[in-house]
Amino acid sequence: MTLILINPSEFDLEISLAYATPNNVTGKQIYRHSFCYLHTDAAKCLKKASELAKHIGYRLKIFDAFRPTEAQWILWHQFPDPGFVADPRKGSPHSRGVAVDLTLIDHLKRELDMGTKFDDFTTLSHHGAMNISAKAQENRILLMGIMTAAGWDFYRNEWWHYQLFNSRRYPLYSDRAVPNRLME
């Protein structure tokens, strides 16, 4: 199988899938189950990022990873803004299993200040946002350094989103592609 289950203990990270709860930008639970999957290529880069974060005293916390095409349509219908939500007709790197939304946490599992919450669909979420605190800017740069050193590309509009380079070369997957479905 090309998509593999991400085990928190094996990868030494936290998983808190936002779309498996109603505490997300839609206000509705999109995933019925909280299984975190990634393409094997992305999983290798995630493991490297986790090791780099641990080396400097932090851990990763994942908000989203593989997102079935069915879920991408739900997000698109709620927020048809291609600056923040990929048009499902073109395909999202999440629906290819090669994107991850995440942050850094400290030893007490507290999220570092990144200037906005996850899925804040405003210009404050852009990597170049200057109207956030200096500490939040430093934390974003720290996360970007870890992720790019581990082989990830960043998306300029979302401080939390990282994807593999050339993500469109990977196929799109529906919920049926994984043994433990997220949507059913």
pLDDT reported for residue 184: 81
Q: In 3-state terms, the chain is what percent helix, strand and coil (to 5)?
A: 35, 20, 50
94 and 3 Cβ atoms separated by less than 8 Å: no
Query: Exposed, middle or buried by CB within 10 Å (0-12, 13-18, 19+), for 142?
Result: middle
In this predicted structure, the answer to whether residue 1 has a pLDDT above a threshold of 80 is no
Structure tokens at 94: 């999440």
Tens digit of each residue's pLDDT (9 = 90 or more) over 108-156:
999 999 999 999 999 999 999 999 999 999 999 999 999 999 999 999 9
**Domains along the sequence of the chain with CATH:** 3-177 (3.30.1380.10)
| Confidence at residue 91, expressed as pLDDT on a 0 to 100 scale | 94
Whether 127 contacts 144, CB under 8 Å: yes
pLDDT of 113: 98
pLDDT per residue over 31-51, tens digit each? 999 999 999 999 999 999 999
Q: How confident is the model at residue 158 (pLDDT cuts 50, 70, 90)?
A: very high
Q: What is the percent of the chain where pLDDT is above 70? A: 99
Q: pLDDT, tens digit, for every residue of 100-120?
A: 999 999 999 999 999 999 999
Residues 29, 53: Cα–Cα separation, whole Å: 30
Given a cut of 90, whether residue 4 has pLDDT beyond it is yes
Mean pLDDT, the chain, integer: 96
pTM for the whole structure: 0.96
Q: Which residue of the set 51, 111, 158, 184 is catalytic?
A: 158
* pLDDT value, residue 122: 95
51 is catalytic: no
Which amino acid, residue 64? Answer: D
CA 38 – CA 36 distance, rounded (Å): 7
